[in-house]
Amino acid sequence: MTTRVQLDVRPEVAAALRAGRPVVALESALIAHGLPWPVNLETVRAADAAIRAEGAIPATIAVRTGRPTVGLADLELEVFAREKDVLKASRRDLAVAISQRRDAATTVAATMALAHLAGIRFLATGGIGGAHRPLTAAAFPLRERGRGEGWDISADLVELGRTPVAVVCAGAKSILDVPRTLEILETQGVPVVGYGIDEFPAFYVRSSGEPVSARVNTPEEAAALVAAHWRLAGAGLVIAQPLPAEAALQADELTDVLIRAESAAAESGMRGKELTPFLLGQLAALTEGKTVRANQVLVVENARLGARLAFCFALI
């Protein structure tokens, strides 16, 4: 006989869910592995504040000493922001973290899975994972990243194809093969919706040059699309809004530093779930912190939009 894993849904989040109030999940891998101290803690606190300002409840998700936890307290956020040995947990790693009573920071895939178990329908993050391009093919510009073969594909894409949670993001991380990522999402039946845009954003860059599958211009339009998708028994959706122009990098600037970062990764033999944090760290160093500042801005803006969508969806 199997039973569903016990979640520690904190009182504020549980009360909001019971009352049908909007709740927005936040991933914890961003805190533990995506941004440096103290920027990581500052960013998640700002995201929390943005969600509350829109009338929704933030719920950062992680595994605390083996217990899946929905709605970390501020002191717990600081623990994840400071600790160096927190497990980075995707969907496959949740059972390990639970059975070994580990602290684990959840990726988009793992956060989606736990959010769905808790009854949360919206998740805000920086950028989704996707298909990595081969590091030996580092010189291709953003619009030509479909070349070559590679097996490093994020579990985020599979989770989006099976779990009914809407993920608000700034597109896919700029280090990825964007055309291939979008092709996989299409195969998984995942709508890729541009918020106020016709082209898919690429995290630090406002546009990848690749088209989205649909465009919406208001939170109300986005919420209606999400509702229709779920009425058709659809699973996840990507709601992508670009980074504000004043914080974005230019495509040529990013391509130059990305080639150098990927060369360093190839020389180090970096792969798997350690590859993305390594590349993001290299980009931060090579751009003298410009990518870190961009990451902060997009996380907060996505949290704000996620709250607006959740609020509109609650009215449907």
Q: What six digits make up the tokens of 29? A: 């891998």
Note the pLDDT tens digit of each residue in 102-124. Answer: 999 999 999 999 999 999 999 99
Report, in angstroms and rounded to the nearest whole number, the Rg of the chain calculated over CA atoms: 18
- Residues 117, 5: contact at Cβ < 8 Å? yes
- Residues 281, 38: contact at Cβ < 8 Å? no
What string of pLDDT tens digits covers the 316 residues of the chain?
Answer: 456 789 999 999 999 999 999 999 999 999 999 899 999 999 999 999 999 999 999 999 999 999 999 999 999 999 999 998 899 999 999 999 999 999 999 999 999 999 999 999 999 999 999 998 775 444 444 444 444 445 689 999 999 999 999 999 999 987 789 999 999 999 999 999 999 999 999 999 999 999 999 999 999 999 999 999 999 999 999 999 999 999 999 888 888 888 888 788 878 877 666 777 787 788 888 888 899 999 999 999 999 999 999 999 999 9
Q: Which CATH class is domain 8-314?
A: alpha beta
| Strand-pair category, 67-70 with 57-64 | antiparallel
Q: Where are the alpha helices (DSSP H) in the chain?
A: 11-19, 29, 39-53, 74-82, 94-99, 108-118, 155-160, 178-187, 219-231, 251-268, 275-286, 290-314
Torsions phi, psi for 87 (to 5 deg):
-65, 135
| Strand-pair category, 214-216 with 166-169 | unpaired
**Spatial separation of the C-alpha atoms in residues 91 and 165, rounded to whole Å:** 14
Say how far residue 124 (Cα) sits from the centre of its chain: 6
Note the pLDDT tens digit of each residue in 151-205. Answer: 689 999 999 999 999 999 999 987 789 999 999 999 999 999 999 999 999 999 9
> pTM higher than 0.75, yes or no?
yes
Beta-carbon neighbour count of residue 45 at 10 Å? 16
List residues with catalytic annotation. 27, 173
